[in-house]
Structure 1
Amino acid sequence: MRRFLTLVVACVVSLTFPGFLAEADAQQPVVRFATLTSISKAPPAVVAEKRGLFDKHGVKVEMKLFAEGRVAIEALAAGQFDIGMFGDIPGLALLARGYPGKIIAAGLGGPARQAVLVRKDAPYQRLEDLKGKKLGLTKGSTDELALEASFTKRGLRWDDFTVIDLKQGEKATALQLGHVDVVEAFEPVPAIIVTKGIGRRLLTAHGEIPDIIGVIIASTKFLESHPGEVVKFLRALHEGAQWAHAYPNEMVDLLHKELKVDRPVLIDSIPRQWWYVEVFSHTLEDWQRAADLLLRLKRVAAPLDVKGLVEFKFLAEALGKKYPLGVAAADVLRYPNVTVRE
């Protein structure tokens, strides 16, 4: 009887005040979300949007994908977005500049997504063979963290190379035309270079470093004003990451359609991804490594203590776990296996 009366009241309200429900819906907070078009950042959010996961979890999201991380960072800093997903280096640099926000989750990862590439016919077999050569990378990105790990492992230094700052989209052409001898890049740029016959992977960061983990940063104002929306957003994004991992063949079709990336590139690059938002046992250490690199490269004026920049209670409520987890990403994640062909 009570349920019947509730339905009657709802019907009366909707018929008597037709604008009431629309007005209530319009007042629901919107999560303005910025991330990148890269294969490492966009997929879980694209899945969440296109498969209705944001709607399923009751959160309204306005999402914009940026081709360049620097532009996305500037947009978040200017208050145009509430939450952003970026690489660790640019994200930490933003917080070091005084941006009022917190890291609330991992921004996806996977060391195999970072690669050092040379031209296809180049004689180089080791990174050490390239001492004195022109090295193209994107300054202020995860390129620097991956290379730092590879340099340290081999006793190399930054001044062993002539470093040239390139945008991600410039690297394939720069390598092909001989403007640089070697590039460091994250997917899908390595896959583009390989599938177009321009170059080959000399090494990836897999085995060089535990992981290269991006960050999800939210403004303090939004965290304080709309904590429930943040929880629902993270829940939907996590579910999107899980779906992407479980259905890599379907991801080829989805990302080809939504990101306009060639299928051969996706087939090559998807198996090199770990898509996740969870914080593992090594995550804080990995982020601290990135923060320390920023100091060594004189990108920040003072040391950063990463532990003071994070807030995981929203992630804990979203997924029902305590973070950081007691396991490493490599203990629970596997690279996706794509079986479709061109």
Structure 2
Amino acid sequence: MTHPSRRQFVARTLGAGAALALPAIGRTQARPVLKAGDQKGGLRALLEAAGALEGVGYDIQWSEFPAAAPLAEALNAGAVDSGPIGDAPLIFALAAGTRVKAIGANRSDAYGTAVLVRPDSTLKTAADLKGRSIATNRGSIGHYVTLKAITRAGLKPEDVNLRFLAPADAKLALTQGSVDAWATWEPYTALAEVSGHARVLVSGRDLLPGLSYLAATDAAIASKRAVLQDYLQRVARAQQWSYRNVDAYSAALARIIGIPPEAAKLQFERRQQKWVPIDAQVVADQQGTADFYRQVGLIKQPLDVKGTFDTGFALAAG
């Protein structure tokens, strides 16, 4: 049975998510419906900018989320069929019993997954975070990069004061001085840099594998496999288009998600995203993330990640 708070969450999400059905092409009777979750600056903006939804044979109902944690909650509740999620949030979702699998893998430069501080902050290195307050989303890639950064600097999780806030609240807390740092991801990192509100203290480059996924619920995989296969291929083709049309895509991204063009281009160019096959290296990197979360006590039981991938989905040819 769905917990009352989860029902309320789903109702809010679907009410505020501006669910849209794409224009019907041909006969609309009995068309499949894909309930697609998204995060700010994510797949919808990419697909629309690339014109990659032309001729789609199913309807898409979009729900946008500010971070991976509420998206994972929606997946768990069955409010969405699929959505983009980082490696660390996926571990949290799976450890919580969410019946979901990764059907596509994406690698990128992890620089923009970072711990930010105010421009005038005296903090210079990760070691300087000892005793300081850091805002981030629990279970997010921001949470993950924080723990990676401080443990590499010889600190323990209890050496910092983590405050779990949504991105908008975390940004406000940093700019107002109620926290010392904010651990976040793109496009929030680029937006904070371009606006002059923050600088990067520690980036995720060399700390994180730069993996994210297109995840889908077990139920959707069972009942909408062909739809999910088509959707993944459209996303992969749209990404290939975006790197052939950097200026056009950056401008469209800025317009669609409502951020300055220079921030859109900065976060896009430095991420260098690429959809890749789910191979042994992807699985090994994801296992490393799970093992690290177990090591620092964020998940209580060991998690074998091999069963959390569905490798039967093909990527579009380059």
Q: TM-score, normalised by structure 2?
A: 0.83
Q: Any idea what the Cα deviations from partners look like across 1:81-122, whole Å, max 9, x if unmatched?
A: 211211222222222233333211125543112112222122
Task: Name the CA distance, whole Å, in 2 between partners of 1:299 and 1:156.
Answer: 16
1:230 aligns with 2:236: no
**Aligned CA distance change for structure 1 residues 202 and 98 (closer, same or farther; 3 Å):** closer
Secondary structure, in 3 states, of the residue corresponding to 2:69?
helix
Task: Name the CA distance, whole Å, in 1 between partners of 2:154 and 2:300.
Answer: 26
Q: Which residue of 2 aligns with 1:340?
A: none
Is residue 102–residue 219 contact of structure 1 (8 Å, CA) maintained in 2? yes
Q: Which residue of 1 aligns with 2:291?
A: 292
Secondary structure, in 3 states, of the residue corresponding to 2:35?
strand
Q: 1:241 aligns with which of 239, 242, 246?
A: 239
**Aligned CA distance change for structure 1 residues 258 and 87 (closer, same or farther; 3 Å):** same
Q: 1:275 aligns with which of 244, 260, 273?
A: 273
**Aligned CA distance change for structure 1 residues 108 and 269 (closer, same or farther; 3 Å):** same
Q: Which residue of 1 aligns with 2:30?
A: 27
1:161 aligns with 2:160: yes
Q: Which residue of 1 aligns with 2:70?
A: 71
Q: Any idea what the Cα deviations from partners look like across 1:247-291, whole Å, max 9, x if unmatched?
A: 221122111211111223223322221333323553222221222
**Aligned CA distance change for structure 1 residues 199 and 98 (closer, same or farther; 3 Å):** closer
Q: Which moved more, 1:215-224 or 1:292-301?
A: 292-301
Residue identity opposite 2:128 in structure 1: D
Is residue 212–residue 286 contact of structure 1 (8 Å, CA) maintained in 2? no
Q: Which moved more, 1:302-311 or 1:63-72?
A: 63-72
Shift of 1:140: 1.1
1:307 aligns with 2:310: no
1:122 aligns with 2:110: no
Q: Mapping of 1:1-342 within 5 angstroms?
A: 24-37=27-40, 39=41, 42=42, 44-56=43-55, 58-107=57-106, 109-209=108-208, 211-278=209-276, 279=278, 282-315=281-314, 318-319=315-316
Is residue 133–residue 161 contact of structure 2 (8 Å, CA) maintained in 1? yes
Q: What percent identity do the matched residue pairs reach?
A: 23
Residue identity opposite 2:246 in structure 1: P
Structure 2 residues not aligned, in runs of 5+: 1-23
Structure 1 residues not aligned, in runs of 5+: 1-20, 322-342
Task: Name the CA distance, whole Å, in 2 between partners of 1:103 and 1:95.
Answer: 11
Shift of 1:32: 1.4
Is residue 87–residue 107 contact of structure 1 (8 Å, CA) maintained in 2? no
**Aligned CA distance change for structure 1 residues 255 and 96 (closer, same or farther; 3 Å):** same
Runs of 4+ with deviation above 6 angstroms: none
Task: Name the CA distance, whole Å, in 2 between partners of 1:107 and 1:32.
Answer: 21
**Aligned CA distance change for structure 1 residues 291 and 262 (closer, same or farther; 3 Å):** same
Report the structure number with the largest CA radius of gyration. Answer: 1
Residue identity opposite 2:162 in structure 1: V
User: Aligned residues, how many?
Assistant: 294
Residue identity opposite 1:141 in structure 2: S
Shift of 1:307: 0.4
**Aligned CA distance change for structure 1 residues 132 and 255 (closer, same or farther; 3 Å):** same
Q: Which residue of 1 aligns with 2:19?
A: none
Task: Name the CA distance, whole Å, in 1 between partners of 2:241 and 2:310.
Answer: 25
Task: Name the CA distance, whole Å, in 2 between partners of 1:180 and 1:109.
Answer: 28
RMSD: 2.5
Task: Name the CA distance, whole Å, in 1 between partners of 2:90 and 2:123.
Answer: 33
Task: Name the CA distance, whole Å, in 2 between partners of 1:51 and 1:269.
Answer: 18
Task: Name the CA distance, whole Å, in 2 between partners of 1:281 and 1:89.
Answer: 18
Residue identity opposite 2:214 in structure 1: I
Residue identity opposite 1:266 in structure 2: A
Residue identity opposite 1:29 in structure 2: P
Task: Name the CA distance, whole Å, in 1 between partners of 2:191 and 2:149.
Answer: 22
**Aligned CA distance change for structure 1 residues 191 and 101 (closer, same or farther; 3 Å):** closer
Shift of 1:298: 4.0
Secondary structure, in 3 states, of the residue corresponding to 2:238?
helix
Q: Any idea what the Cα deviations from partners look like across 1:10-37, whole Å, max 9, x if unmatched?
A: xxxxxxxxxxx98953223122110201
